[in-house]
Structure 1
Amino acid sequence: MNVSPRETRIAVLENGQLMELRFERGERVVGNIYKGLVQNVLPGMDAAFVNIGLERNAFLYVGDILPEGGDAEEPTPTPKRSELRKRNIGELLKIGQEILVQVVKAPRGTKGARVTTRITLPGRYVVLMPDGGGLGISRKIEDRAERERLRQIAQKLHPHGFGLILRTESEGKTEKEIGQDIEYLTQLWQQIRENIAQAHAPALVHRDATLLYRVLRDVFSSEVDRLWIDDPEEYEKVHEVLKVIAPALRTRVMLYDKPTPMFEQFNIEKEMERLLRRKVWLKSGGYLTIDETEAFTAIDVNTGKFT
């Protein structure tokens, strides 16, 4: 984890090779939850524009609008997207209507953020869905006996009225550990509900976790040998967070204090420079040319030396 006043960068290395790179610059909006106002409804596009208080209105597609669940006694399964797309958005939303949305795609260029009414709250071991949706277990957990064990735990702890998904990290975890994660998320949702009640749309009612916390929650696990951090303040923050979510992993966190910049020491800067080149050579002798525009990313495949 490399920290500077301008940005935070986190690289994941496997056998010395760069496998994943995450950046955070300025204010992040993906994952944030807003109390918005429907600004325009466009039946021809099966979409609506929602004012969430940002510079540009957010885009809400009809397939991302969940049906009203009301106060049903039991959570109902989430409808398939193909079913949701068949509805008339003009019958679902009205101009001036208040609506709760979560950002799934950040604003880019002249386009506003993309939002959904499918609110999700990810924890370390589970994902909680306040609008229901049943119970699920990560497909990456393949052992049948373990899946059945987790299913029994989930059925026992499943909070009334919520959808619940057990993440890959829940594999091998105890009922107590999973229960603590669920309890934290249900308390978080209660706080969000209080924020919603007090807020006047458009308003931010929940800010998603920082890059630091998201990486500790989603990436840092027993499979990671070391977490190097080159900033003493962030190093202390990591220890405080791990006290709560994964105390056993605190010994794997190391403070990097050598004079050589950490990303240079681990050859990450060179690898980043190589990966971000416009032309990418292939083992066959051919190459790819990658050009990015606001509308799309174009990848041109050239046979090059192969011919």
Structure 2
Amino acid sequence: MQQMVVHCERDKTQMALLEDGRLVEFAVERVQGKQLVGGFYKGRVVNVLPGMQAAFVDIGLKKNAFLYVDDVLHPHLEKQPKEKPSIDSLLDVGQELVVQVMKEPFGGKGARVTTHYSLPGRTIVYMPHADYVGVSKKIENETERGRLKVIGDHLRQPGEGLIMRTVAEGASRDAVADDLAHLREQWRRIEQRAETSPAPLEIHHDLSMVERLVRDIFTPQTEELFVDDKEIYGQIVSLLRNMEPLLVPRIRYYKEAEPIFQHFRIQEQLDRAFQRKIWLDNGAYLVLDHTEALTVIDVNTGKYIGNHDLEDTVFAANVEAAEEIARLVRLRDIGGIIIVDFIDMEQEEHRQYIIDRLEQLLKKDRTKCLVVGWTRLGLLEMTRKKVRDHVLYEPCAACRGTGRINT
């Protein structure tokens, strides 16, 4: 059973996704500090660096945005030149261009931007210059993939690109056509504003967090959506009436005296999930440490002693750890390189099972994940696309997490 819970406060809105009562995804949007990813800006090139094959673009933020050469070339790989040109042959200092944010600023780094424009709808992603049709890999039925590919090819105009989203599975041609018409009009307005606006300037931003999540997550598989704010409730109902009217009856306005996050046990699950040391139900535990470049997760048997031989004990602990790790990387929105130090296993079939189980569970993650495999040191390496900093708990302002207490 899947449920969405939206909690609204004066300065922020929080969303939690539950599967059988267990928290698997969490997002927060503050009134100050809206999401930049997906936004379109008219920028001005301020520096071109052939040695880095990149340029810096002023889009009106504190830090100049970073534009890599691959994000300037044609979005269709088959239409790119065989030999990658130098970026100074593609861009000039002072040149104005429209860019889209693909990664939020991190620490001292500016946002990463692209000219491979994309506008997400309910059933499709519209790419005005991509010139191809793709189908979500999460749609596994080959007959359905073929049907959606044919629909996309018939609907798109020359030069346009479409990606049929997972939600498009089973959608009618008319539903996809309506979605495409709306996105084409959105792109026309972006182009129009870009022509008449000075740089640097934001010319389009994506929907609010709640609207995005309703568009991207609220599917027929979601049983209920609870929201504790009447105005946001009205916005969601209005959005769904246009997008998927059959789902409107699943929206619930929560007006009980008990806070909504307490009612669904969300806050206690959040507090537990964001600790450095996390105990598993079987008595084993995980330790998570973050650096700027990667996240390291250590698996320990802890209080778990098993019932049979050592290999079975270790394997059982690792299986439960793998299941919790798949949930935590999604919930904590951990991005970049992730190294997991599982407890050493002797049998190769056990090691392969851990990989297979992780890959199976990570299919539910909307963010791209890749389980690379075991290193020569016996560590499991995986990656998860990093889009934004997920800040729920901040380090102490005095010591920035480096403090120690004398024992």
Structure-1-length-normalised TM-score: 0.90
Q: Does 1:56 align with 2:52?
A: no
Secondary structure of the 1:191 match is helix
Match of 2:296 in 1: 299
Q: 2: distance between equivalents of 1:9 and 1:83?
A: 45
Measured after TM superposition, the shift of residue 171 of structure 1 is 0.9
Corresponding residue number in structure 2 for 1:195: 193
Deviation per residue, 1:142-185 (Å, 9 max, x gap): 22222222222222211332111111111111111111000000
Change (3 A) 1:103 1:288: same
1:65 paired to 2:62: no
**Displacement of 1:82 after TM fit?**
9.9
Which residue of structure 1 lines up, in the alignment, with residue 16 of structure 2? Answer: 11
2:52 to 45, 50, 70: 45
- Report 1:283-298 matches (<5 A): 285=284, 287-292=286-291, 295-298=292-295
2:159 is paired with a residue whose SS is coil
Q: Distance in 1 between matches of 2:82 and 2:41?
A: 22
Moved more, 37-46 or 267-276: 37-46
Following TM superposition, by how much is the alpha carbon of 1:80 offset from its aligned partner in structure 2, in angstroms? 6.7
Separation in structure 2 between the aligned mates of residue 111 and residue 195 of structure 1, nearest angstrom: 28
Over the aligned positions, Cα root-mean-square deviation in angstroms equals 2.2
**Separation in structure 2 between the aligned mates of residue 85 and residue 254 of structure 1, nearest angstrom:** 55
Q: How many angstroms does 1:7 deviate by?
A: 1.1
Structure 2 CA distance for partners of 1:48 and 1:226, relative to 1, 3 Å: same
Identify which range, 195-204 or 132-141, moves more after superposition: 132-141
In the other structure, the counterpart of 2:164 is 166
Q: CA deviation at 1:226?
A: 0.3
Structure number with higher relative contact order (C-alpha < 8 Å, ≥ 6 residues apart)? 1
Q: Are the aligned partners of 1:65 and 1:84 in contact in 2 as well (CA < 8 Å)?
A: no
Q: For the residues of structure 2 that align with 1:212 and 1:287, how far apart are their CA atoms? A: 32
The partner residue of 1:107 within 94, 105, 108 is 105
Preserved contact between residue 136 and residue 165 of structure 2 (Cα < 8 Å):
yes
- For the 8 Å contact 1:286–1:304, the answer to whether it is kept is yes
- Segments of 5+ residues of structure 1 without an aligned counterpart are 68-76
Q: Distance in 2 between matches of 1:116 and 1:81?
A: 17
Correspondence for 2:38 among 31, 34, 39: 31
Cα distance change on mapping 1:298 and 1:247 into 2, 3 Å: closer
User: 2:251 maps to which residue?
Assistant: 253
Normalised by the length of structure 2, the TM-score is 0.69
The answer to whether the 8 A contact 2:139-2:166 is kept is yes
Compared CA separation, residues 287 and 171, structure 1 to 2 (3 A) = closer
Alpha-carbon deviation of 1:206? 0.9
Provide closer, same or farther for how the CA distance between residues 85 and 23 of structure 1 changes in structure 2, counting only shifts above 3 A.
farther
The answer as to whether partners of 2:128 and 2:161 remain within 8 angstroms in 1 is: yes
Question: 2:87 — aligned with what?
Answer: 89
Q: Compared with structure 1, are the counterparts of its residues 300 and 185 closer, same or farther at alpha carbon in structure 2 (3 Å cutoff)?
A: closer
Checking the alignment, whether the CA contact within 8 Å between 1:129 and 1:162 is kept in structure 2 is yes
Q: In structure 2, do the counterparts of structure 1 residues 84 and 164 end up closer, same or farther at CA, with 3 Å as the change threshold?
A: farther
Q: Percent identity?
A: 39
* Deviations 1:195-252 (CA, angstroms, capped at 9, x unpaired): 1111111111111111121111100011100000000110011111111111111000
SS at match of 2:203: strand
Q: Is the 8 A contact 1:63 1:85 kept in 2?
A: no
Structure 2 letter corresponding to 1:46? Q
Confirm or deny: 8 A CA contact 1:49 1:59 kept in the other structure. yes
Aligned pairs for 1:262-301 within 5 A:
262-281=260-279, 285=284, 287-292=286-291, 295-299=292-296, 301=298
Matched, 1:186 2:184: yes
How has the CA–CA distance of structure 1 residues 286 and 226 changed in structure 2, closer, same or farther, with 3 Å as cutoff? closer
* Corresponding letter in the other structure for 1:20: E
Aligned length: 296
**Cα distance in 2 for residues equivalent to 1:20 and 1:301:** 22
Output the amino acid matched with 2:77: P
Q: Which residue in the other structure is 2:404 paired with?
A: none
Asked if structure 1 preserves the Cα contact closer than 8 Å seen for 2:117 and 2:128, the reply is yes
Report if aligned partners of 2:284, 2:299 keep a CA contact under 8 Å in 1. no
Q: Any gaps of 5 or more consecutive residues in structure 2?
A: 1-5, 305-342, 344-407
Determine if contact 1:278/1:291 at 8 Å carries over to the other structure.
no
Name the CA distance, whole Å, in 1 between partners of 2:192 and 2:299. 56
Higher deviation after alignment, 79-88 or 277-286: 79-88
Structure 1, residues 98-137: CA drift from partner, whole Å, max 9, x if none?
1211101111222211111111001000111011231111
Alpha carbons of structure 1 residues 176 and 43: separation in structure 2 relative to 1, 3 Å:
same
